[in-house]
Amino acid sequence: MPDAVGVKLMRLPHGHGIDLPQYVSDGAAGMDVVSAEAVRIAPGGRHAVATGLAMAIPEGYEIQVRPRSGLALKHGITVPNTPGTIDSDYRGELKIILINHGSEPFAIERGDRVAQLVLAPVTHARWIMVEELDETVRGAGGFGSTGM
């Protein structure tokens, strides 16, 4: 198991009494995060689900917010901007944007697992302007160009 990176975490008043994000198996890449509120999301609806947590992510890292596969498969519940990004300079409440692609309203109770959080390193790009790009087999082939 790789060395853990420390991330400062603060419970907000409405976050007391619920589980902190946690890895549920030794090989898990993501930590399950739970809801700090009860909410019902209508079919086609979206909601920013409160977690009752704020954090200070170390510089050079981000936290990616990813859907839980079981919610996506069984209920059509997903994160619409997958992966969502929490930047290292954000200090507000972590909220999980969920959308209901299912055909039934979906109820979330306080303490329900709603998403996964993955801590990831960030690499910044430096643009290098050129007059032309190197050639590849694919070239400028766009959407669907590598499929059958």
Domain enclosing residue 95, as ranges: 8-121
Q: Residue 45: what residue type?
A: G
Domain count, the chain: 1
CA 89 to chain centre: 17
Write down the pTM of the prediction: 0.87
Question: Which residues lie below 8 Å from residue 127, measured CB to CB, with a gap of 6+?
Answer: none
Distance CA 89, CA 98 (A): 23
Assess if residue 108 is contained within a domain: yes
Ordered DSSP codes for 69-115: HHHHHHH-EE-TTSSEEE-TT--SEEEEEEEE-SSS-EEE-TT-EEE
Q: What is the CATH number of the domain that holds 71?
A: 2.70.40.10
Tens-binned pLDDT, residue by residue, of the chain (148 aa):
668 999 999 999 999 999 999 999 999 999 999 999 999 999 999 999 999 999 999 999 999 999 999 999 999 999 999 999 999 999 999 999 999 999 999 999 999 999 999 999 999 999 999 999 999 888 887 777 776 6
